[in-house]
Structure 1
Amino acid sequence: MPGVPGGNMPHCPPAHGEDRHQLNSPGDKIQYAIGVEVARNFKNQGLDLDLEMVAKGMRDGLSGGELLVSEKELRSILISVQSDIRRRQSLVKQGAAGDRKP
């Protein structure tokens, strides 16, 4: 993600057939679909993320254990990221509107 240290989402998916994961159950399919949708959402918002750090945050959030940042800092970080996303989306919309003017 621009402006966030460690933002380096890999951009090269494995070639067809290289991924050895199988969707063996309805639960596997649901979890895979959730992962795809979350990743697409990140991509559509222009976020460039370190997937290992995202996975660490998810594991920590699900475990209910100690986080690497305080709850207060967590809220502050998320508010900042959301503001940045809204600002960038607004600039894109303004640019698109400007392109339509005669």
Structure 2
Amino acid sequence: MTAIIGTSGSGKSTLMKLLAGFWDFEKGDIKIGGIGVKDLSMNYLNTIISYVDQNTFLFDDSILGNIRVGKKAATNDEVIEAAKRAGCHDFIVALPDGYDTIAGDRLSGGEK
């Protein structure tokens, strides 16, 4: 795992959006393993890069439903495993309704 860290305004979000192929660029090159990101498929980039934007959006649905958006057929066990891997399982189970807690605008920015 690699984390991109830096002060506010230093370009972390810009770098990640370029690296993940969300934005195009005209000059220079960004390479992963010696291969330019423009030469890699979005499918491949999606398998090797995870990006959490600072402006998180959650549907007005349960936390379970929001996590399941990434894989509609995910079992409850798969959702829980994903939450554990993301480091948020303990926070979720401490909520009054656990995974059934309705997310949307009810959680603070940090909680999202």
Larger helix percent:
1
> Which one has a bigger Cα radius of gyration?
1
- Same fold? TM cut 0.5: no
Between 1 and 2, higher relative CO (CA 8 Å, sep ≥ 6) is seen in 1
- Normalised to the residue count of structure 2, the TM-score between the two structures is 0.24
- Normalised to the residue count of structure 1, the TM-score between the two structures is 0.26
